[in-house]
Structure 1
Amino acid sequence: MNNSIRAFAIGILFATGVTGCAYAFEGSKEVVIEEGQVLSYAEENSLVVLSKEEYDQLLPQLDDLKDETTAKESTEPEEDKSVEEEVTKEEKIEEEEKEEPKEEKKEEPKTYTLTIREGMLLHEATKELENAGIIDNAFSFNQYLEKNDKSKLVQIGTFELTTGLSYREVTAIITKNR
């Protein structure tokens, strides 16, 4: 028993020594990324690149906006209700606008099967819907889900969606009416 423990310990020490030597002789390989590569990556992925100075200039503005938002939320709860009413009115207007072109075009709606997998991000699913023509803008649909507290209710599964659905109808389908 004692010999087997001693042999195990020697094996661990030997493996550690070999790994340490390999790591020491390998050295660190620094990857040099050029500014052009960063800019092209940002452009391909619709990202914005800011210099440190620009970023530092925007931070105080962000803090001011956060302060204004919290001040408005705490002092004017009635205004929130009116904002919600405005959003509801805007949604109704959008739905009416969407219904009018349907009557004019009289095209058959296209069906799209959306599969939401475990671990899939919300913006990935909404981007698929935008690419399929189910929704016009993935970003605005994400905002709609956030405003209506539905973003965390999106369910895993396969959903049949057709073109011409309103945000509310799409939300009801992908949240399974939760």
Structure 2
Amino acid sequence: MKRTTRAFAAGILFATTIIATIYYTNHNQSKNNTVSEKQYEQLVAERNELADALEKLKKETEKTTPPQKETYIYTLTIAKGESSRDIAERLQQAHIIDDAQSFLTYLDAHELTRAVRPGTYVITSDMSYEQIARKITK
């Protein structure tokens, strides 16, 4: 009977040791998880602050930088005997110039109306009237 009691006591001691080990191991892990959660919350807060700062910077940049104008490219083909008015209207329709009449006035003022040469030209919307005129009159 002594032997049975000792075996029973040893079993209880062994089981208690295992349960205590499991309890303390899990308890320490939950403490570590709590620290990780705090760190996570801090990282989320920092991320939100950075996102807010970036959004503010983006809005300030939009205010200070003017919107960029879109550049159009047009291949202009001028036939022999085609009028300057037709050319100016096609350039306006292609968004190369803003106003056909202004371009015609420029050509007239510089006596280039009759100097327009037939051919195919690549014209862009960022070119000035002078640059366009120089290109189509040479």
TM-score by length of 2: 0.50
TM-score by length of 1: 0.39
